[in-house]
Amino acid sequence: MTSSRELIVEADGGSRGNPGPAGYGAVVLDPATGETLAEAAEYIGVATNNVAEYKGLVAGLKAARELFPDATVHVRMDSKLVVEQMSGRWKIKHPDMKPLAAEAGRVFPAGRVRYEWIPRERNKHADRLANEAMDAAKLGRRWEPSGSTAALDASAARNAAAPPPSGPPGDAAAGAARARSALAAAGTGTGRDLAPDGTGTGSGAWPGGASRPSVPHDGPDAGPDDGLFAAEDALTAVPGGAEASGDFEAEAGVLAPTGSAAHAGSARSAAADATPTATARSQGWAGPDMGAPATFVLLRHGETALTPEKRFSGSGGSDPELSAAGLRQAEAVAAALAARGTIQEIVSSPLTRCRQTAAAVADRLGLDVRIEQGLRETDFGAWEGLTFGEVRDKYPADLDAWLASAKAAPTGGGESFATVARRVAATRDRLAAAYAGRTVLLVTHVTPIKTLVRLALGAPPESLFRMELSAASISAVAYYADGNASVRLLNDTSHLRG
């Protein structure tokens, strides 16, 4: 090989907590063929993101030097800080990074290395290596090249053509219908569904029961991760044959009687009752969207004094604070999210219980909290502070109408689920555009979370009554640029069972 040989080095690092458990990844590529020539990854203990990124750079440069000592190197990283500092445009002030930058500068002569910033979605190979190293350390192992799938994943991503955006992220009813038709025409049957990125649909998306809604439970008797809880005694009978779950913070957990307006018509027409009119949607699974999605991690706030009493508590009532139990839940979820290390931004409902929950997470992660009015809970009007039974006694006709139609509002000028769906959908589209490619924690309430899940699935309004959502639970939905959405998780409470 001659000294004119050029190599590409892609490097990344990450910290699950910043500072927290950290690792780096680096790959050396042939610029002509894209072939992976060398990989490096390592868990480095507790460190910051920037330190991990610099260590990834050093490892990548050393791997390139071992292959071709006389090469010229094109470094590509998604760290603006490292790229600008190593290019000499920004000063290096932090004492932890000065020696790392100096070490990187000594691997090759300065004239043989050039730096380029690339978006995160174009640095997936190195990012995957860093995460593999951290995952291995969590299991008490060292990262081994033989066990890595990063090269295969990166190759698949490069070979897949992303379709052009055809509409805002969100509702999937039309795309799902087209996908079902395409699958039927192709004779593929009803096999395992795939998310838009080619992975599985994710864990935790449990369907509700056909005869009654699942039962929320926030106490110590919570069961395993399948979303089923031993709280059947919390059910109360409801006239007309339906049953109530008792979780009325966001909506009464009851099913409208069979044959009511909420069950009439097709799923498509029912969904239209509470779904904002959509612009042109994606062509189902015509092609995978390989761009990094906006991932919303949906956190319901912790308990308030009204939660165990099963009272309506929306945005038109007393705005209660977290109870002592709710504060403990907030700390538990903050610790869990810090351990996962994936949250990059925090956005919260303006209501006190969400702000307190968000603050606990933000303090642990060292992030700021942005307040978003569109994430507030439903206004339950005159029902605020009442139990379902009290509403049944005082406003039976209004309650029946509310249960039968997403367009019906609570007594006294509250919001209908259709109104809330329009507000939440607009908020979703705005945040998905603002945080494309990032993982954002949305701290909000039962109705907004269930609405986001419902719209992502293209499900009808009555599906709101068939989802479990416990206090301080975590759900997740990813939104792709082509309009597809992928529900990744629903009602995870494992962090509350320590």
The token duo for 487 is: 């529900």
Alpha carbon distance 222, 230 (integer Å): 7
Q: How confident is the model at residue 456 (pLDDT cuts 50, 70, 90)?
A: very high
Residue 241 pLDDT greater than 70, yes or no: no
Q: Which is nearest to 448 in space by CA: 250, 218, 171?
A: 250
Name which of 168-172, 432-436, 468-472 the model is least confident about. 168-172
Q: What is the pLDDT of residues 141-166, one digit of tens each?
A: 999 887 788 776 665 555 443 344 33
Higher-confidence residue: 133 or 498? Answer: 133
Is the distance from CB of 255 to CB of 462 less than 8 angstroms?
A: yes
Highest mean pLDDT among 161-165, 236-240, 382-386: 382-386
CATH class held by domain 173-496:
alpha beta
Using DSSP bridges, classify how beta strands 243-244 and 236-237 pair: parallel, antiparallel or unpaired: antiparallel
DSSP string, 312-349: ---SSS--PPB-HHHHHHHHHHHHHHHHH----EEEE-
pLDDT at 4: 58
The answer to whether 377 is a known catalytic residue is: yes
Helix (H, G, I), strand (E, B) or coil at 25: strand
Higher-confidence residue: 481 or 476? Answer: 476
**CB within 8 A of 23, min separation 6: which ones?**
13, 14, 41, 42, 43, 44, 52, 130, 131, 133, 134, 137, 143
- Rounded to 5°, the CA angle 490-140-297 comes to 20
Q: What is the residue type of 145?
A: P
**In the CATH scheme, what is the code of domain 6-159?**
3.30.420.10
pLDDT at 250: 33
Q: What is the pLDDT of residues 306-363, one digit of tens each?
A: 999 889 999 988 899 999 999 999 999 999 999 888 899 999 999 999 999 999 999 9
Alpha carbon distance 199, 175 (integer Å): 18
The answer to whether 217 is a known catalytic residue is: no
Task: Give percent of the chain with pLDDT exceeding 90.
Answer: 58
Highest mean pLDDT among 7-11, 143-147, 260-264: 7-11
Alpha carbon distance 179, 288 (integer Å): 12
pLDDT at 149: 81
The token duo for 497 is: 């069972």
pLDDT at 82: 94
Residue 84 pLDDT greater than 80, yes or no: yes
Could you give the C-alpha distances from 465 to 245, 255, 303, 490, in angstroms and in order?
9, 6, 20, 14
- Give the domain ranges of the chain: 6-159, 173-496
pLDDT at 157: 52
Catalytically annotated residue among 125, 217, 301, 495: 301
Residue 191 pLDDT greater than 80, yes or no: no
List of long-range contacts for 151-158, beta carbons under 8 Å, 24+ apart: 151/27, 151/36, 151/39, 151/125, 153/124, 153/125, 153/128, 154/27, 154/36, 154/124, 154/125, 154/128, 155/34, 156/198, 157/124, 157/290, 158/34
Alpha carbon distance 114, 328 (integer Å): 49
- 173-496 and 6-159 share a CATH fold: no
Catalytically annotated residue among 10, 243, 303, 377: 377
